[in-house]
Structure 1
Amino acid sequence: MELPRLCGFEAAEQQQEEQREEVLSRQQERHYRLLAELQALVKALPSACQQRLSYTTLSELALALLDGTVFEIVQGLLEIQHLTEKNLYSQRRQLHSEHRGLKQELFHRHKEAQQCCRPHNLPLLRAAQQREMEAMEQQIREEQRMMDEKIVLELDQKVIDQQSTLEKAGVSGFYITTNPQELTLQMNLLELIRKLQQKQAEAEKSFS
């Protein structure tokens, strides 16, 4: 009496095994396709960059891209980066505008003072005004330097955030580093992911 139940259990197990094999087969097929597309994209890079992007690196990258999560992560990181850059550029432009306004205001104030000044006092007035203008220009240079330092620090922090996030996501080649060669490699990997994402989006659009 137990035989039919046992046969049914074995059939269910066999069906599950076949489904697992089918899923693995589809994943393997997608992995090969992603790898082939990455290899094609790499050919457009400078030869020095191509040498750093070995078959193993590209194969590991293709594996990380299988479920599409990394595409979403990279898209989010790039959007944050663009917003940060836009905000920092806006702050720098605002500071430049304020400085221009201060210089114009000082220039007009100096001009009015000279018009009201007695001729024999003009040399002293102009000397004092020159010192005031130089002091303002020094202050402006210092504020611009501080703004530029702030921009560099914030952009560096965004790079660290990207490295850390992609390392945690298991993307090969990403870890926190300031080594210029490694940063170039990571930038190339990001560019490959972005181009592959665009390519897939265009393919999906053409099928829809």
Structure 2
Amino acid sequence: MEVTAAAIASGEAVAMMADMKKKKKLKRVMVALDESDVSLYALKWALDVFLPSMAEEAKLTIVHVQPPFESYIYTVGPVIYAKPPEIELMRKAQQEGAEKLFAQALPLCSANKVNADTLVLEGDAKDMICEATEKMEVDLLVMGSRGLGMIKRTLLGSISDYCVHHAKCPVLIVRTPKEMTTTHK
């Protein structure tokens, strides 16, 4: 069962999720976060609307996927390789970015009395999220939607759209309020 943006917009999402919970207790929920306000909104929405009614033994995992770091750069001329100190600085910056993201997310979970694990992966976000949901046997994946228009979504690709079609578990796409998405279109 896919929970789509249309279902959320029409208010059917909570009813659909309640029906899912009757059929199968949700024990593992994953929320995918990036550096956007949209993904943080999806976490807040899940904590406020959906997660309070989950079983106490349920587990929440917050996942963040970093792009793979390449130690070389292709230029018009020869290939340029990064030196070890530069590589270390870039990896440290990625790690600090993930820590900053989790520093925003974990207090929200604590405030809602939800214990959350964090997971940082490296690679293509859409593939890594789908792989993680399968390996961890996640019962539900929650993601935000940036609200890209059809042309931008076609050109840039949509991680949430990919996950809806390829994840081995139900995917809940949380649509953000219009005031958050108008700046991204």
User: Of the two, which has the highest radius of gyration?
Assistant: 1
Query: What TM-score, normalized by structure 1, do the two folds share?
Result: 0.28
Relative contact order (C-alpha < 8 Å, sep 6+): which is higher? 2
More helix by share: 1
More strand by share: 2
Query: What TM-score, normalized by structure 2, do the two folds share?
Result: 0.30
